[in-house]
């Protein structure tokens, strides 16, 4: 499985689980959070 496919699957899983608990969660919400987390991880890795 490619990294891109893994990322799509991870986001789909996150959406499915959070949307059950909170219907205001959208796929866009998940994408925005994933991008923020990714940029933080990249920035933190660069600082070490």
Q: Which domain holds residue 30?
A: 3-47
Q: Please give the chain's pLDDT, 48 residues, in tens.
A: 999 999 999 999 999 999 999 999 999 999 999 999 988 777 677 776
Cα-Cα-Cα-Cα dihedral sign, residues 23, 27, 28, 31: positive
pTM greater than 0.75: yes
Give the total number of structural domains in the chain. Answer: 1
């Amino acid at each position: 499985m490619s990294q891109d496919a893994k990322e799509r699957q991870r986001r789909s899983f996150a959406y499915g689980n959070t949307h059950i608990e909170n219907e205001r969660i959208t796929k866009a919400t998940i994408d925005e959070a994933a991008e923020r987390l990714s940029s933080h991880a990249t920035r933190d890795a660069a600082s070490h």
